[in-house]
């Protein structure tokens, strides 16, 4: 099984890197795990709607270039479907049971994901309506992926 995160921007904070590295190490017994960073599009603080669309489109092209046809894609989006950890674990288990061994999660830039990326996604997932820093979201997502494998293993980690 292969789990991939395609994310916009670089992770700078050492404490986030350390947390992600810890969960990535734990995940390695279940799956190959990789994070692919694509550059964020530099933009001024205040953008018009068309400038925002251009930034999202450029980031979207970079994201889509890192996704292969056979990959099952989760797009992280505020308007996506919320799941419990148990529901998410069952989804991951079902995907692998039905032949999806390449699962990709996409975290967009500060403006969100381009419509083309959302269209390519097989499903959208939301971690609630809170706005979280993208760097923190990487850590939360990596932990939840690890938690899903632990739930599927019947481990007490989840409790």
Domain coordinates in residue numbering, the chain: 2-40+60-154
DSSP letter (8 states) at residue 142: H
Q: Is the domain 2-40+60-154 a CATH 3.40.190.10 member?
A: no
* Chain position carrying tokens 């079902």: 94
- Give me the pLDDT at residue 105, please: 98
For the chain, the helix, strand and coil percentages under 3-state DSSP, each to the nearest 5: 45, 25, 30
Mean pLDDT, rounded, for 76-80: 93
Tell me the backbone φ, ψ of residue 13, rounded to 5 degrees. -70, 125
Which of the residue ranges 42-51, 88-97, 98-107 would you say has the lowest mean pLDDT? 42-51
Rg (CA), the chain: 16
- Per the CB < 8 A criterion, the answer to whether 63 and 33 are in contact is no
Q: What percent of the chain has pLDDT over 90?
A: 87
C-beta neighbour count of 28 within 10 angstroms = 10
Is 0.75 surpassed by the pTM of this model? yes
Task: For residue 76, say whether it is annotated as part of any ligand binding site.
Answer: yes
9-50 pLDDT, tens digit per residue, is 999 999 999 999 999 999 999 999 999 999 999 887 888 999
Task: Return d(Cα 141, Cα 128) in angstroms, integer.
Answer: 12
Task: For residue 99, say whether it is annotated as part of any ligand binding site.
Answer: no
- Per the CB < 8 A criterion, the answer to whether 103 and 150 are in contact is no
């Amino acid at each position: 099984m292969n789990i991939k995160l395609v994310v916009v921007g670089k992770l700078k904070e050492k404490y986030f890197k350390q947390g992600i590295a810890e969960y990535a190490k734990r995940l390695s017994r279940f799956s190959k795990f990789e994070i692919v960073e694509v550059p964020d599009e530099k933009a001024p603080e205040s953008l018009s709607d068309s400038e925002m669309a251009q930034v999202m489109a450029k980031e979207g092209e970079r994201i889509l270039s890192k996704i292969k046809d056979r990959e099952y894609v989760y797009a992280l989006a505020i308007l996506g479907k919320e799941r419990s950890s148990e529901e998410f674990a069952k989804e991951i288990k079902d995907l692998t049971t039905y032949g999806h061994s390449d699962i990709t999660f996409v975290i967009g830039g500060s403006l969100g994901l381009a419509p083309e990326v959302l269209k390519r996604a097989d499903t959208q997932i939301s971690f609630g309506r809170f706005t979280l820093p993208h760097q923190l979201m990487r850590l939360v997502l990596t932990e939840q992926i690890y938690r899903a494998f632990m739930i599927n293993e019947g481990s007490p980690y989840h409790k």
